[in-house]
Amino acid sequence: MAPKTNSLGWATVKFVLLVLTSIIMIICVVLWRVDNQRIERLRMDIIDSTVPNFSFLLKPISNLGKVITDFKAYNRVYKQNQELKSELQKMEGWREVALQLDQDNAKLRALSNLKLNPNLVFLTGEVLADVGGPFSQSALINVGLLDGIKEGAAVLDGLGLVGRIATIGKDTSRIIYVTDSNFSIPVTILPIRAKAIMKGNNSLYPELTFFDSEEDIQPGYRIVTSGTDGIFVPDLLVGSVIKSKNGFLIKLAADFANIEFLRVLRPPKSKNLKKDVDLLKKE
Amino acid sequence: MNSLSFFRLTQFFLIGLTLAVLPLAPVNFIPRTFPSPDFLFCFIVAWHLRDPQSSPLPLILFLTLLVDIVQFRPIGLWPIFMILLSNLITINRRLFFNGQFLKELLFFSTIFFCGLMFELFFLTITFSPNNGFGVAAQQVIITSFAYPVVVLILYFLLRLRYKTSRFFFSESL
């Protein structure tokens, strides 16, 4: 009799624990939806403390990926090297012209005394992890609140816009890429200065939507951020226009094949958005 | 718990943790044309079907909660689904003892599809961003192709077989 009673007691305890766990998980899900900011801050705190500790596991994999990428790049470089050798012979004549231009350039730089826009201060971070799943394009970078960056800051590689800071922790932040389907920003098409919206579609070629006239836009036109959202600094290079069957797509300037170090810009001082509703308020 | 069971438990935890963390490796940031298979889900289901004693529910919940946190999914949604799935497997394990893998694969595809629809439904009714039915369907197909590979690895490399256990299965069910 005793063993049956014991197993019944244990089964009851297990059932109660199961119900309690289910209730806790349901509460977590509801809280995630209702009080999203607090839960996201808690999530970033957990990620801050756990993900960097897994670098011993992630580094070998990323290094192996780099070896494979480098091997492919080596093949490409070898072919390019052969082509460049033949072109080099033609370039000898331009050498003298280049030397003269270099001297003129040095004089002009000294004369201009260039002062950078304070809004364009940036800091560089290293990509720690790819936290996007099959349905999202995002990554974790090793800069956070303690480094002085804020949510919504633009993220670039050396060439163009890569994404923006979506969630921020003390030491790490999550970047959502321009290729993510939930990423949309207002852009300007140069040289016609037409306004449009760039919308990610989980591919390397985001869509260009909400433009006035299709006839004015030509393939090859540059796309830059317009700054009308008050979040991004204007005139950050996004890419160039390409034509597709159903309209226009954007060929991104950023090199998504080689993302390792990224620049994070500080957002402009004109608007400090605390809530989404602030965008609608008149100044 | 004997030493073999403890060893299996440790194997399950370490492999599960590795599968949960490995997708975070910053290898390729080019958007993929198709979603990658959910190896962790394949691993958990395959192991839990064969040896539920060494894949206890608390560990499964810990792994799925960890993945929810680091991959920015709704926190707690997949653990709820795993609780339901674990009970479903416990009740229906007898269906798999005759070794019909096609039945098992169909079961896996169905439950994974239900899991993704459960997530999609929740995200839709709570007006959260989601990627729609098309991407979820692709994920189901691709993960279903990966499931046999995971089962083969567990079978040949880890020697994981179906276990009958009077503590977890009753003929009276």
Indicate the domain borders of chain B.
3-20+36-156
Residue B166 has pLDDT above 80, yes or no: no
Using an 8 Å CB-CB cutoff, list chain B residues near A260.
26
- Using alpha carbons, select from A252, A120, A242, A240 the residue that is nearest to residue A190: A240
Rounded to a whole number of angstroms, the distance from the CA of B52 to the nearest CA of chain A is: 15
The per-residue pLDDT for range B125-140, each reduced to its tens digit, is 888 877 788 888 888 9
Q: Is the Cβ–Cβ distance between B18 and A54 less than 8 Å?
A: no
- Cβ-defined contact of B24 to A130 (cutoff 8 Å): yes
Question: Residue ranges of chain A with pLDDT lower than 70?
Answer: 1-6, 89-90, 92-93, 96, 100, 103, 106-107, 109-120, 134-135, 267-283
CATH number listed for the domain at residues A35-85+117-268: 2.40.10.340
- Cβ-defined contact of A24 to B76 (cutoff 8 Å): yes
What pLDDT does B87 receive?
Answer: 85
The per-residue pLDDT for range A177-189, each reduced to its tens digit, is 999 888 999 999 9
What pLDDT does B13 receive?
Answer: 92
Whether B56 has its CB under 8 Å from any CB of chain A: the answer is no
This prediction has a pTM of 0.66
- Cβ-defined contact of B76 to A29 (cutoff 8 Å): yes
Rounded to a whole number of angstroms, the distance from the CA of B22 to the nearest CA of chain A is: 6
Domain spans of chain A?
35-85+117-268
Confidence label for B1 from pLDDT (cuts 50, 70 and 90) = low
- Cβ-defined contact of A25 to B76 (cutoff 8 Å): yes
Q: How many CB atoms lie within 10 A of CB B11?
A: 16
Q: Please tell me the distance from the alpha carbon of residue A279 to that of residue A186, in angstroms, as a whole number.
A: 14
Question: A166 vs B26, which has greater pLDDT?
Answer: A166
Extract the tokens encoding A187. 């852009």
One-letter amino acid of A281: K
Whether B125 has its CB under 8 Å from any CB of chain A: the answer is no
Q: Is the Cβ–Cβ distance between A246 and A233 less than 8 Å?
A: no
Q: Which of B17, B22, B24, B62 has the highest number of chain A CBs within 10 A, making it the mutation to test binding with A? A: B24
Using an 8 Å CB-CB cutoff, list chain A residues near B33.
203
Coil, strand, or helix at residue A209?
A: strand
